[in-house]
A and B are shown apart, each in its own frame.
Chain A
Amino acid sequence: MPVLYLVLTWALLGLLVGALALAARLKPASWGGRGWLWLLALGLGSSLFGGLLGFWLLGRLFSSAAALWMAVLVLCLPRLVDALRTRRGSQQ
Protein backbone atom coordinates (compact mmCIF):
# COMPACT_ATOMS: atom_id res chain seq x y z
CA MET A 1 0.00 0.00 0.00
CA PRO A 2 2.72 2.57 0.83
CA VAL A 3 4.31 1.90 -2.58
CA LEU A 4 0.96 2.52 -4.28
CA TYR A 5 0.74 5.92 -2.55
CA LEU A 6 4.26 6.64 -3.73
CA VAL A 7 3.36 5.75 -7.35
CA LEU A 8 0.29 7.97 -7.11
CA THR A 9 2.52 10.80 -5.84
CA TRP A 10 4.83 10.41 -8.85
CA ALA A 11 1.81 10.38 -11.17
CA LEU A 12 0.41 13.54 -9.59
CA LEU A 13 3.81 15.23 -9.82
CA GLY A 14 4.03 14.23 -13.50
CA LEU A 15 0.61 15.69 -14.30
CA LEU A 16 1.43 18.91 -12.43
CA VAL A 17 4.73 19.30 -14.24
CA GLY A 18 2.92 18.53 -17.54
CA ALA A 19 0.41 21.29 -16.79
CA LEU A 20 3.26 23.66 -15.97
CA ALA A 21 4.93 22.72 -19.26
CA LEU A 22 1.70 23.59 -21.09
CA ALA A 23 1.57 26.93 -19.30
CA ALA A 24 5.23 27.45 -20.21
CA ARG A 25 4.31 26.82 -23.89
CA LEU A 26 6.68 23.90 -24.22
CA LYS A 27 4.25 22.07 -26.54
CA PRO A 28 5.75 21.95 -30.03
CA ALA A 29 3.52 23.52 -32.66
CA SER A 30 3.88 20.39 -34.82
CA TRP A 31 1.93 18.29 -32.24
CA GLY A 32 -1.38 19.76 -33.36
CA GLY A 33 -4.63 20.15 -31.42
CA ARG A 34 -4.25 17.10 -29.22
CA GLY A 35 -0.70 18.05 -28.35
CA TRP A 36 -1.66 19.18 -24.83
CA LEU A 37 -2.84 15.65 -24.05
CA TRP A 38 0.43 14.18 -25.29
CA LEU A 39 2.39 16.63 -23.17
CA LEU A 40 0.44 15.63 -20.04
CA ALA A 41 0.94 11.95 -20.89
CA LEU A 42 4.66 12.58 -21.41
CA GLY A 43 4.83 14.29 -18.00
CA LEU A 44 3.01 11.36 -16.38
CA GLY A 45 5.17 8.72 -18.08
CA SER A 46 8.49 10.43 -17.46
CA SER A 47 7.62 11.10 -13.83
CA LEU A 48 6.68 7.45 -13.29
CA PHE A 49 9.91 6.38 -14.99
CA GLY A 50 11.98 8.87 -12.96
CA GLY A 51 10.28 7.79 -9.75
CA LEU A 52 10.92 4.14 -10.47
CA LEU A 53 14.55 4.82 -11.37
CA GLY A 54 14.98 6.93 -8.22
CA PHE A 55 13.33 4.24 -6.11
CA TRP A 56 15.74 1.61 -7.41
CA LEU A 57 18.92 3.70 -7.52
CA LEU A 58 18.56 6.05 -4.56
CA GLY A 59 15.87 4.61 -2.31
CA ARG A 60 12.23 5.45 -1.81
CA LEU A 61 12.97 8.63 0.14
CA PHE A 62 14.49 10.31 -2.91
CA SER A 63 12.23 8.81 -5.58
CA SER A 64 9.80 11.76 -5.71
CA ALA A 65 12.65 14.27 -6.13
CA ALA A 66 14.05 12.09 -8.95
CA ALA A 67 10.58 11.88 -10.54
CA LEU A 68 10.33 15.68 -10.45
CA TRP A 69 13.54 16.56 -12.25
CA MET A 70 13.21 13.68 -14.69
CA ALA A 71 9.72 14.87 -15.70
CA VAL A 72 10.92 18.45 -16.22
CA LEU A 73 13.90 17.27 -18.25
CA VAL A 74 11.82 15.01 -20.54
CA LEU A 75 9.10 17.67 -21.03
CA CYS A 76 11.68 20.18 -22.24
CA LEU A 77 13.04 17.80 -24.87
CA PRO A 78 10.25 18.00 -27.54
CA ARG A 79 10.43 21.78 -27.63
CA LEU A 80 14.22 21.60 -27.81
CA VAL A 81 14.11 19.10 -30.69
CA ASP A 82 11.51 21.26 -32.46
CA ALA A 83 13.65 24.36 -32.07
CA LEU A 84 16.73 22.54 -33.39
CA ARG A 85 14.77 21.24 -36.38
CA THR A 86 13.48 24.72 -37.17
CA ARG A 87 16.98 26.17 -36.91
CA ARG A 88 18.42 23.43 -39.14
CA GLY A 89 15.58 23.99 -41.66
CA SER A 90 16.20 27.73 -41.79
CA GLN A 91 19.96 27.19 -42.26
CA GLN A 92 19.32 24.85 -45.24
Chain B
Amino acid sequence: MDNIENNVTADRLAPPSQVRPVAIAHTLAKKGRGRRIGAWVARAALALCFLAGFYLSVFPSGRATVRALSILPGLLAAAQPPWEEPVAEPITHSERTLTSPTGTVYLDIYAPSTDAPPVPGAREGILLIPGVGDQRKDAQLINFSRTLASSGLVVMDLTTQTLIDNRLDAGDEEGIVQAFEVLQRWPGVGANRVGLLGFSAGGPLMCFAAADARVRDKVAFVTLFGGYFDAWTLLQTIGRRELTEIGETQPWHPVPYPLQVLADTIAPLMPGNDGQMLANAFAPNGRESLSPAQIAQLAPSSAAAYHLLAGDEPGLVDANLAALSPEVRALLSSLSPSRVVTQIHAPIYLLHDRSDQFVPVSESLEFAAALARLHHPYDFAEFGIFQHVEVRANSGFSQLVGDGLSLLRLASEVMQAGS
Protein backbone atom coordinates (compact mmCIF):
# COMPACT_ATOMS: atom_id res chain seq x y z
CA MET B 1 0.00 0.00 0.00
CA ASP B 2 2.74 2.45 0.95
CA ASN B 3 4.64 1.55 -2.24
CA ILE B 4 1.63 2.35 -4.39
CA GLU B 5 1.24 5.73 -2.72
CA ASN B 6 4.94 6.49 -3.20
CA ASN B 7 4.63 5.60 -6.89
CA VAL B 8 1.67 7.89 -7.27
CA THR B 9 3.60 10.75 -5.74
CA ALA B 10 6.49 10.00 -8.09
CA ASP B 11 4.17 9.88 -11.12
CA ARG B 12 2.59 13.21 -10.24
CA LEU B 13 6.07 14.73 -10.55
CA ALA B 14 6.78 12.96 -13.86
CA PRO B 15 6.97 14.90 -17.19
CA PRO B 16 3.93 14.97 -19.60
CA SER B 17 5.50 12.26 -21.83
CA GLN B 18 4.84 9.75 -19.07
CA VAL B 19 1.02 10.30 -18.99
CA ARG B 20 0.09 6.61 -19.49
CA PRO B 21 2.02 5.26 -16.47
CA VAL B 22 0.54 8.13 -14.43
CA ALA B 23 -3.02 7.06 -15.39
CA ILE B 24 -2.27 3.44 -14.40
CA ALA B 25 -0.85 4.61 -11.14
CA HIS B 26 -3.98 6.71 -10.53
CA THR B 27 -6.16 3.63 -11.11
CA LEU B 28 -4.01 1.60 -8.75
CA ALA B 29 -4.18 4.32 -6.16
CA LYS B 30 -7.97 4.44 -6.45
CA LYS B 31 -8.12 0.66 -6.03
CA GLY B 32 -5.78 0.89 -3.08
CA ARG B 33 -7.91 3.57 -1.49
CA GLY B 34 -11.01 1.47 -2.09
CA ARG B 35 -9.37 -1.54 -0.47
CA ARG B 36 -8.28 0.56 2.46
CA ILE B 37 -11.83 1.84 2.96
CA GLY B 38 -13.10 -1.74 2.62
CA ALA B 39 -10.67 -2.86 5.31
CA TRP B 40 -11.86 -0.17 7.68
CA VAL B 41 -15.49 -1.06 7.00
CA ALA B 42 -14.69 -4.70 7.76
CA ARG B 43 -12.87 -3.66 10.94
CA ALA B 44 -15.86 -1.61 12.03
CA ALA B 45 -18.15 -4.59 11.32
CA LEU B 46 -15.88 -6.82 13.41
CA ALA B 47 -15.88 -4.31 16.26
CA LEU B 48 -19.67 -4.17 16.09
CA CYS B 49 -19.91 -7.98 16.13
CA PHE B 50 -17.61 -8.10 19.15
CA LEU B 51 -19.48 -5.45 21.09
CA ALA B 52 -22.92 -6.87 20.26
CA GLY B 53 -21.90 -10.46 21.04
CA PHE B 54 -20.14 -9.45 24.26
CA TYR B 55 -23.04 -7.29 25.48
CA LEU B 56 -25.73 -9.84 24.61
CA SER B 57 -23.97 -12.75 26.31
CA VAL B 58 -22.00 -11.24 29.21
CA PHE B 59 -24.11 -8.34 30.54
CA PRO B 60 -27.31 -9.26 32.43
CA SER B 61 -29.26 -6.57 30.58
CA GLY B 62 -28.00 -7.99 27.27
CA ARG B 63 -29.04 -11.51 28.22
CA ALA B 64 -32.46 -10.18 29.26
CA THR B 65 -32.77 -8.56 25.80
CA VAL B 66 -31.86 -11.85 24.08
CA ARG B 67 -34.44 -13.70 26.19
CA ALA B 68 -37.10 -11.10 25.44
CA LEU B 69 -36.26 -11.26 21.72
CA SER B 70 -36.47 -15.04 21.78
CA ILE B 71 -39.94 -15.11 23.35
CA LEU B 72 -41.43 -12.28 21.30
CA PRO B 73 -42.06 -14.19 18.02
CA GLY B 74 -43.66 -17.03 19.96
CA LEU B 75 -45.94 -14.63 21.80
CA LEU B 76 -46.98 -12.57 18.79
CA ALA B 77 -47.51 -15.56 16.51
CA ALA B 78 -49.28 -17.47 19.33
CA ALA B 79 -47.01 -20.43 18.49
CA GLN B 80 -43.28 -21.01 18.79
CA PRO B 81 -41.66 -20.65 15.35
CA PRO B 82 -39.73 -23.76 14.20
CA TRP B 83 -36.53 -21.80 13.53
CA GLU B 84 -36.21 -21.16 17.26
CA GLU B 85 -35.97 -24.88 17.96
CA PRO B 86 -32.14 -25.01 18.09
CA VAL B 87 -31.97 -22.40 20.87
CA ALA B 88 -35.05 -23.63 22.76
CA GLU B 89 -34.35 -25.47 26.00
CA PRO B 90 -35.98 -28.91 26.19
CA ILE B 91 -38.81 -28.63 28.72
CA THR B 92 -40.95 -30.79 30.97
CA HIS B 93 -44.51 -30.28 32.15
CA SER B 94 -45.77 -31.45 35.52
CA GLU B 95 -48.89 -30.91 37.61
CA ARG B 96 -49.22 -30.41 41.34
CA THR B 97 -51.90 -29.41 43.80
CA LEU B 98 -51.71 -27.53 47.08
CA THR B 99 -54.28 -27.22 49.80
CA SER B 100 -55.10 -23.71 50.99
CA PRO B 101 -57.84 -22.38 53.32
CA THR B 102 -59.98 -21.39 50.27
CA GLY B 103 -59.63 -24.79 48.60
CA THR B 104 -57.39 -26.66 46.20
CA VAL B 105 -54.71 -24.76 44.28
CA TYR B 106 -53.85 -26.29 40.89
CA LEU B 107 -50.35 -25.83 39.55
CA ASP B 108 -49.03 -26.55 36.06
CA ILE B 109 -45.26 -26.30 35.95
CA TYR B 110 -43.31 -25.86 32.72
CA ALA B 111 -39.56 -26.07 33.37
CA PRO B 112 -36.35 -26.64 31.39
CA SER B 113 -35.23 -30.25 31.80
CA THR B 114 -31.54 -29.30 31.97
CA ASP B 115 -29.63 -27.87 34.94
CA ALA B 116 -29.37 -24.11 35.37
CA PRO B 117 -26.27 -22.77 33.59
CA PRO B 118 -23.30 -21.73 35.82
CA VAL B 119 -23.88 -18.08 34.80
CA PRO B 120 -25.96 -16.62 36.41
CA GLY B 121 -26.25 -19.85 38.42
CA ALA B 122 -30.01 -19.95 38.94
CA ARG B 123 -33.12 -19.69 36.82
CA GLU B 124 -35.88 -17.11 36.96
CA GLY B 125 -39.28 -18.33 38.11
CA ILE B 126 -42.62 -16.88 37.08
CA LEU B 127 -45.80 -17.59 38.98
CA LEU B 128 -48.67 -16.94 36.62
CA ILE B 129 -52.41 -16.62 37.15
CA PRO B 130 -54.11 -16.68 33.74
CA GLY B 131 -57.32 -15.10 35.04
CA VAL B 132 -60.77 -16.27 35.97
CA GLY B 133 -62.14 -19.59 34.69
CA ASP B 134 -60.32 -22.82 33.92
CA GLN B 135 -57.63 -21.80 31.43
CA ARG B 136 -55.32 -24.76 31.98
CA LYS B 137 -56.02 -26.25 28.55
CA ASP B 138 -56.06 -22.90 26.71
CA ALA B 139 -53.74 -23.16 23.68
CA GLN B 140 -52.39 -19.60 24.01
CA LEU B 141 -51.62 -20.05 27.70
CA ILE B 142 -49.83 -23.35 27.05
CA ASN B 143 -47.86 -21.77 24.19
CA PHE B 144 -46.98 -18.78 26.39
CA SER B 145 -45.80 -20.98 29.25
CA ARG B 146 -43.83 -23.28 26.95
CA THR B 147 -42.22 -20.31 25.17
CA LEU B 148 -41.04 -18.83 28.48
CA ALA B 149 -39.78 -22.21 29.70
CA SER B 150 -37.96 -22.77 26.39
CA SER B 151 -36.02 -19.57 27.02
CA GLY B 152 -34.78 -20.93 30.36
CA LEU B 153 -37.46 -19.85 32.85
CA VAL B 154 -39.51 -21.99 35.19
CA VAL B 155 -43.19 -21.12 34.75
CA MET B 156 -45.84 -22.11 37.25
CA ASP B 157 -49.43 -21.58 36.09
CA LEU B 158 -51.80 -21.32 39.04
CA THR B 159 -55.52 -21.54 39.34
CA THR B 160 -57.85 -22.12 42.28
CA GLN B 161 -61.29 -23.66 42.65
CA THR B 162 -62.69 -20.15 43.24
CA LEU B 163 -61.25 -18.92 39.94
CA ILE B 164 -62.48 -22.03 38.12
CA ASP B 165 -65.95 -21.24 39.52
CA ASN B 166 -65.72 -17.78 37.89
CA ARG B 167 -65.44 -15.98 41.20
CA LEU B 168 -62.87 -13.77 42.91
CA ASP B 169 -61.81 -14.21 46.51
CA ALA B 170 -59.05 -12.21 48.17
CA GLY B 171 -58.52 -15.27 50.39
CA ASP B 172 -56.76 -16.94 47.44
CA GLU B 173 -53.75 -14.88 48.50
CA GLU B 174 -52.82 -17.69 50.90
CA GLY B 175 -52.64 -20.26 48.10
CA ILE B 176 -50.58 -17.89 45.94
CA VAL B 177 -48.09 -17.31 48.74
CA GLN B 178 -47.78 -21.09 49.20
CA ALA B 179 -47.21 -21.58 45.46
CA PHE B 180 -44.65 -18.76 45.46
CA GLU B 181 -42.70 -20.53 48.19
CA VAL B 182 -42.87 -23.81 46.25
CA LEU B 183 -41.50 -22.06 43.17
CA GLN B 184 -38.72 -20.45 45.21
CA ARG B 185 -37.58 -23.93 46.27
CA TRP B 186 -37.97 -25.45 42.77
CA PRO B 187 -34.72 -27.11 41.57
CA GLY B 188 -32.57 -24.59 39.73
CA VAL B 189 -34.73 -21.56 40.57
CA GLY B 190 -33.09 -18.66 42.42
CA ALA B 191 -35.06 -17.80 45.57
CA ASN B 192 -34.72 -14.06 44.83
CA ARG B 193 -35.52 -14.45 41.12
CA VAL B 194 -39.21 -15.29 41.34
CA GLY B 195 -41.78 -12.85 39.98
CA LEU B 196 -45.56 -12.71 39.72
CA LEU B 197 -47.53 -12.37 36.51
CA GLY B 198 -51.28 -11.86 36.62
CA PHE B 199 -53.58 -11.77 33.63
CA SER B 200 -56.91 -9.99 33.91
CA ALA B 201 -58.51 -10.63 37.33
CA GLY B 202 -55.43 -12.69 38.25
CA GLY B 203 -53.59 -9.36 38.54
CA PRO B 204 -55.30 -8.12 41.71
CA LEU B 205 -54.74 -11.50 43.39
CA MET B 206 -51.03 -11.22 42.52
CA CYS B 207 -50.98 -7.75 44.10
CA PHE B 208 -52.39 -9.13 47.35
CA ALA B 209 -49.71 -11.82 47.42
CA ALA B 210 -46.96 -9.32 46.51
CA ALA B 211 -48.05 -7.19 49.49
CA ASP B 212 -48.03 -10.15 51.88
CA ALA B 213 -45.45 -9.57 54.63
CA ARG B 214 -44.15 -13.15 54.28
CA VAL B 215 -42.97 -12.73 50.69
CA ARG B 216 -43.07 -9.04 49.71
CA ASP B 217 -39.31 -8.59 50.03
CA LYS B 218 -38.65 -11.72 47.99
CA VAL B 219 -40.85 -10.94 44.99
CA ALA B 220 -38.61 -9.91 42.07
CA PHE B 221 -41.36 -8.17 40.07
CA VAL B 222 -45.12 -7.96 39.59
CA THR B 223 -46.47 -7.88 36.04
CA LEU B 224 -50.15 -7.18 35.51
CA PHE B 225 -51.77 -7.60 32.14
CA GLY B 226 -55.31 -6.31 31.67
CA GLY B 227 -56.04 -6.09 35.40
CA TYR B 228 -58.00 -3.57 37.44
CA PHE B 229 -56.82 -1.22 40.17
CA ASP B 230 -59.98 -0.58 42.12
CA ALA B 231 -63.11 -2.75 42.06
CA TRP B 232 -65.15 0.32 43.03
CA THR B 233 -64.11 2.38 39.97
CA LEU B 234 -64.39 -0.74 37.82
CA LEU B 235 -68.03 -1.10 38.85
CA GLN B 236 -68.49 2.62 38.32
CA THR B 237 -67.21 2.35 34.71
CA ILE B 238 -69.37 -0.72 34.09
CA GLY B 239 -72.42 1.07 35.47
CA ARG B 240 -71.86 4.23 33.40
CA ARG B 241 -70.89 2.30 30.28
CA GLU B 242 -68.26 4.94 29.68
CA LEU B 243 -64.67 5.38 30.71
CA THR B 244 -62.52 8.42 31.36
CA GLU B 245 -59.07 8.33 29.81
CA ILE B 246 -56.77 11.32 30.37
CA GLY B 247 -59.72 13.63 31.10
CA GLU B 248 -61.72 12.46 28.07
CA THR B 249 -64.92 10.48 28.46
CA GLN B 250 -65.82 7.89 25.85
CA PRO B 251 -68.40 5.10 25.54
CA TRP B 252 -67.33 1.72 26.80
CA HIS B 253 -69.35 -1.45 26.54
CA PRO B 254 -68.17 -4.53 28.39
CA VAL B 255 -68.54 -8.06 27.03
CA PRO B 256 -70.78 -10.33 29.17
CA TYR B 257 -68.00 -12.34 30.86
CA PRO B 258 -66.74 -9.74 33.42
CA LEU B 259 -70.39 -9.04 34.35
CA GLN B 260 -70.87 -12.75 35.01
CA VAL B 261 -67.72 -12.87 37.18
CA LEU B 262 -68.77 -9.83 39.21
CA ALA B 263 -72.31 -11.18 39.62
CA ASP B 264 -70.99 -14.58 40.76
CA THR B 265 -68.56 -12.87 43.14
CA ILE B 266 -71.05 -10.64 44.93
CA ALA B 267 -74.05 -13.04 44.72
CA PRO B 268 -73.21 -14.99 47.94
CA LEU B 269 -73.41 -11.73 49.92
CA MET B 270 -76.94 -10.90 48.84
CA PRO B 271 -80.00 -11.54 50.99
CA GLY B 272 -82.48 -14.37 50.28
CA ASN B 273 -82.77 -15.49 46.69
CA ASP B 274 -81.35 -12.23 45.28
CA GLY B 275 -77.90 -13.66 44.70
CA GLN B 276 -79.24 -16.56 42.67
CA MET B 277 -81.39 -14.22 40.57
CA LEU B 278 -78.43 -11.94 39.88
CA ALA B 279 -76.11 -14.84 39.02
CA ASN B 280 -78.73 -16.35 36.71
CA ALA B 281 -79.30 -13.03 34.94
CA PHE B 282 -75.61 -12.72 34.04
CA ALA B 283 -74.91 -16.44 33.46
CA PRO B 284 -73.72 -17.35 29.91
CA ASN B 285 -77.23 -18.35 28.88
CA GLY B 286 -78.91 -15.63 30.94
CA ARG B 287 -80.66 -12.61 29.42
CA GLU B 288 -78.47 -10.02 31.21
CA SER B 289 -81.70 -8.34 32.28
CA LEU B 290 -84.45 -8.85 34.79
CA SER B 291 -88.08 -7.86 34.28
CA PRO B 292 -89.44 -4.89 36.31
CA ALA B 293 -91.40 -7.41 38.41
CA GLN B 294 -88.22 -9.41 39.17
CA ILE B 295 -86.31 -6.20 40.04
CA ALA B 296 -89.17 -5.22 42.39
CA GLN B 297 -88.61 -8.50 44.28
CA LEU B 298 -84.94 -7.61 44.98
CA ALA B 299 -83.77 -5.87 48.14
CA PRO B 300 -82.72 -2.23 47.43
CA SER B 301 -79.01 -3.10 47.80
CA SER B 302 -79.39 -6.08 45.42
CA ALA B 303 -81.32 -3.97 42.91
CA ALA B 304 -78.53 -1.37 43.03
CA ALA B 305 -75.94 -4.08 42.24
CA TYR B 306 -78.10 -5.33 39.38
CA HIS B 307 -78.47 -1.85 37.84
CA LEU B 308 -74.73 -1.28 38.07
CA LEU B 309 -73.99 -4.51 36.20
CA ALA B 310 -76.81 -4.16 33.68
CA GLY B 311 -75.84 -0.55 32.96
CA ASP B 312 -79.49 0.44 32.65
CA GLU B 313 -79.19 3.43 35.01
CA PRO B 314 -75.99 5.19 33.90
CA GLY B 315 -77.12 8.46 35.44
CA LEU B 316 -77.68 6.88 38.87
CA VAL B 317 -74.35 5.09 39.25
CA ASP B 318 -73.21 7.03 42.31
CA ALA B 319 -76.58 6.53 44.01
CA ASN B 320 -76.52 2.81 43.22
CA LEU B 321 -72.95 2.48 44.53
CA ALA B 322 -74.04 4.22 47.73
CA ALA B 323 -76.99 1.81 48.04
CA LEU B 324 -74.81 -1.32 47.98
CA SER B 325 -74.84 -3.34 51.19
CA PRO B 326 -71.90 -2.88 53.61
CA GLU B 327 -70.87 -6.50 52.90
CA VAL B 328 -70.61 -5.87 49.14
CA ARG B 329 -68.74 -2.62 49.76
CA ALA B 330 -66.29 -4.45 52.00
CA LEU B 331 -65.89 -7.16 49.35
CA LEU B 332 -65.16 -4.58 46.64
CA SER B 333 -62.60 -2.97 48.90
CA SER B 334 -60.98 -6.30 49.74
CA LEU B 335 -60.72 -7.13 46.01
CA SER B 336 -58.97 -3.85 45.12
CA PRO B 337 -55.20 -3.66 44.59
CA SER B 338 -55.50 0.03 45.58
CA ARG B 339 -55.88 -1.28 49.14
CA VAL B 340 -52.39 -2.83 49.17
CA VAL B 341 -50.42 -0.77 46.64
CA THR B 342 -48.34 0.94 49.32
CA GLN B 343 -47.30 -2.43 50.76
CA ILE B 344 -45.87 -3.82 47.52
CA HIS B 345 -42.08 -3.54 47.36
CA ALA B 346 -41.35 -5.10 43.96
CA PRO B 347 -41.34 -3.09 40.71
CA ILE B 348 -44.69 -3.24 38.92
CA TYR B 349 -45.10 -3.58 35.15
CA LEU B 350 -48.51 -2.77 33.70
CA LEU B 351 -49.78 -3.85 30.28
CA HIS B 352 -53.24 -3.16 28.91
CA ASP B 353 -55.12 -3.53 25.64
CA ARG B 354 -56.23 0.02 24.83
CA SER B 355 -59.61 -1.20 23.53
CA ASP B 356 -60.07 -3.84 26.23
CA GLN B 357 -63.76 -4.75 26.62
CA PHE B 358 -63.25 -6.96 29.68
CA VAL B 359 -61.47 -4.49 31.95
CA PRO B 360 -61.25 -0.82 30.87
CA VAL B 361 -57.78 0.56 30.17
CA SER B 362 -58.60 3.42 32.57
CA GLU B 363 -57.93 0.97 35.44
CA SER B 364 -54.28 0.50 34.45
CA LEU B 365 -53.94 4.24 33.83
CA GLU B 366 -55.18 4.87 37.38
CA PHE B 367 -52.78 2.23 38.68
CA ALA B 368 -49.87 3.86 36.84
CA ALA B 369 -50.87 7.30 38.16
CA ALA B 370 -50.99 5.96 41.73
CA LEU B 371 -47.55 4.35 41.33
CA ALA B 372 -46.15 7.62 39.94
CA ARG B 373 -47.56 9.49 42.95
CA LEU B 374 -45.95 6.97 45.28
CA HIS B 375 -42.61 7.11 43.38
CA HIS B 376 -42.87 3.34 43.12
CA PRO B 377 -40.74 1.78 40.33
CA TYR B 378 -43.08 0.89 37.47
CA ASP B 379 -43.53 0.79 33.73
CA PHE B 380 -46.72 0.92 31.72
CA ALA B 381 -47.55 0.18 28.10
CA GLU B 382 -50.80 0.20 26.15
CA PHE B 383 -51.24 -2.21 23.25
CA GLY B 384 -53.48 -2.62 20.24
CA ILE B 385 -52.35 -6.11 19.25
CA PHE B 386 -54.22 -7.86 22.04
CA GLN B 387 -57.89 -8.56 22.64
CA HIS B 388 -57.93 -8.26 26.43
CA VAL B 389 -54.99 -10.63 27.11
CA GLU B 390 -55.02 -12.77 23.96
CA VAL B 391 -53.20 -12.00 20.73
CA ARG B 392 -55.47 -10.39 18.15
CA ALA B 393 -55.35 -12.26 14.84
CA ASN B 394 -55.67 -9.33 12.42
CA SER B 395 -53.14 -6.77 13.66
CA GLY B 396 -51.52 -4.58 11.01
CA PHE B 397 -47.77 -4.68 10.38
CA SER B 398 -47.05 -1.17 11.71
CA GLN B 399 -49.05 -1.85 14.86
CA LEU B 400 -47.26 -5.17 15.28
CA VAL B 401 -43.87 -3.43 15.05
CA GLY B 402 -44.82 -0.53 17.34
CA ASP B 403 -46.44 -2.70 20.00
CA GLY B 404 -43.72 -5.34 19.56
CA LEU B 405 -41.10 -2.77 20.59
CA SER B 406 -43.11 -1.80 23.70
CA LEU B 407 -43.55 -5.48 24.51
CA LEU B 408 -39.81 -6.04 24.03
CA ARG B 409 -39.01 -3.23 26.48
CA LEU B 410 -41.32 -4.62 29.16
CA ALA B 411 -40.29 -8.23 28.54
CA SER B 412 -36.60 -7.23 28.88
CA GLU B 413 -37.35 -5.60 32.24
CA VAL B 414 -39.18 -8.73 33.41
CA MET B 415 -36.39 -11.00 32.15
CA GLN B 416 -33.76 -9.00 34.03
CA ALA B 417 -34.51 -10.98 37.21
CA GLY B 418 -33.21 -14.22 35.73
CA SER B 419 -30.35 -12.87 33.67
- A interface residues with partner B (beta carbon < 8 Å): 2-3, 5-6, 9, 17, 20-21, 23-26, 54, 56-70, 72-73, 75-76
Interface of B is mostly: helix
In this complex, what residue of B is CB-closest to A8? B86
Contact (Cβ within 8 A) B50 A72: yes
Enumerate 27 A-B pairs (CB-CB under 8 Å) in ascending A order: A2-B86, A3-B86, A5-B85, A20-B42, A20-B46, A24-B43, A25-B39, A26-B46, A57-B119, A58-B63, A58-B117, A59-B152, A61-B66, A61-B67, A61-B70, A61-B152, A62-B66, A63-B87, A64-B87, A65-B62, A65-B66, A68-B50, A69-B49, A69-B52, A69-B54, A69-B57, A75-B46
A3 — which chain B residues lie within 8 A by C-beta?
86
Contact (Cβ within 8 A) A2 B85: yes
Contact (Cβ within 8 A) B66 A73: no
Could you tell me the distance in whole angstroms from the C-beta of B118 to the nearest C-beta in chain A?
5
Q: Which of B46, B53, B63 has the most CB of A within 10 A?
A: B53
In the assembled complex, B45 has its CB within 8 A of some CB on chain A: yes
How far apart are the CA atoms of A72 and B39 in the complex, in Å?
A: 15
How far apart are the CA atoms of A9 and B52 in the complex, in Å?
A: 17
Contact with A along B107-122 (1 / 0, CB 8 A): 0000000000111000
In the assembled complex, B236 has its CB within 8 A of some CB on chain A: no
In the assembled complex, B305 has its CB within 8 A of some CB on chain A: no
Q: How many A-B residue pairs have CB under 8 A?
A: 93
Q: List 11 additional A-B contacts (Cβ < 8 Å) besides A60-B89, A64-B87, A65-B53.
A: A6-B87, A58-B117, A58-B119, A60-B86, A60-B87, A61-B151, A62-B66, A63-B87, A66-B53, A69-B52, A72-B49
A5 — which chain B residues lie within 8 A by C-beta?
85-86
Could you tell me the distance in whole angstroms from the C-beta of A73 to the nearest C-beta in chain B?
7
Contact (Cβ within 8 A) A62 B63: yes
Could you tell me the distance in whole angstroms from the C-beta of B393 to the nearest C-beta in chain A?
28
In the assembled complex, B103 has its CB within 8 A of some CB on chain A: no
Q: Which of A5, A68, A75 has the most CB of B within 10 A?
A: A68
Could you tell me the distance in whole angstroms from the C-beta of B142 to the nearest C-beta in chain A?
20
Also in contact, A23 and B50, with CB within 8 A (given A58-B63, A59-B117, A69-B57): no
Also in contact, A20 and B49, with CB within 8 A (given A58-B117, A66-B57): yes
Could you tell me the distance in whole angstroms from the C-beta of A18 to the nearest C-beta in chain B?
10
How far apart are the CA atoms of A88 and B198 in the complex, in Å?
A: 64
In this complex, what residue of B is CB-closest to A70? B53
A65 — which chain B residues lie within 8 A by C-beta?
52-54, 56-57, 62, 66
In the assembled complex, B88 has its CB within 8 A of some CB on chain A: yes
B50 — which chain A residues lie within 8 A by C-beta?
68-69, 72-73
In the assembled complex, B21 has its CB within 8 A of some CB on chain A: no
How far apart are the CA atoms of A42 and B293 in the complex, in Å?
A: 87
Q: Which of A20, A58, A59 has the most CB of B within 10 A?
A: A59
How far apart are the CA atoms of A18 and B291 in the complex, in Å?
A: 79
Contact (Cβ within 8 A) B87 A61: yes
In the assembled complex, B377 has its CB within 8 A of some CB on chain A: no
How far apart are the CA atoms of A57 and B40 in the complex, in Å?
A: 33
B63 — which chain A residues lie within 8 A by C-beta?
58, 61-62
In the assembled complex, B326 has its CB within 8 A of some CB on chain A: no
In this complex, what residue of A is CB-closest to B48? A72
How far apart are the CA atoms of A76 and B46 in the complex, in Å?
A: 9
The 4 A-B residue pairs with the shortest CB-CB distance, nearest first, are A69-B53, A68-B53, A23-B42, A24-B42
A2 — which chain B residues lie within 8 A by C-beta?
85-88
B49 — which chain A residues lie within 8 A by C-beta?
17, 20, 68-69, 72
In the assembled complex, B38 has its CB within 8 A of some CB on chain A: yes
A56 — which chain B residues lie within 8 A by C-beta?
117-118
- Taking CB atoms and an 8 Å cut-off, the chain B residues in 335-352 that contact chain A are none
How far apart are the CA atoms of A29 and B333 in the complex, in Å?
A: 78
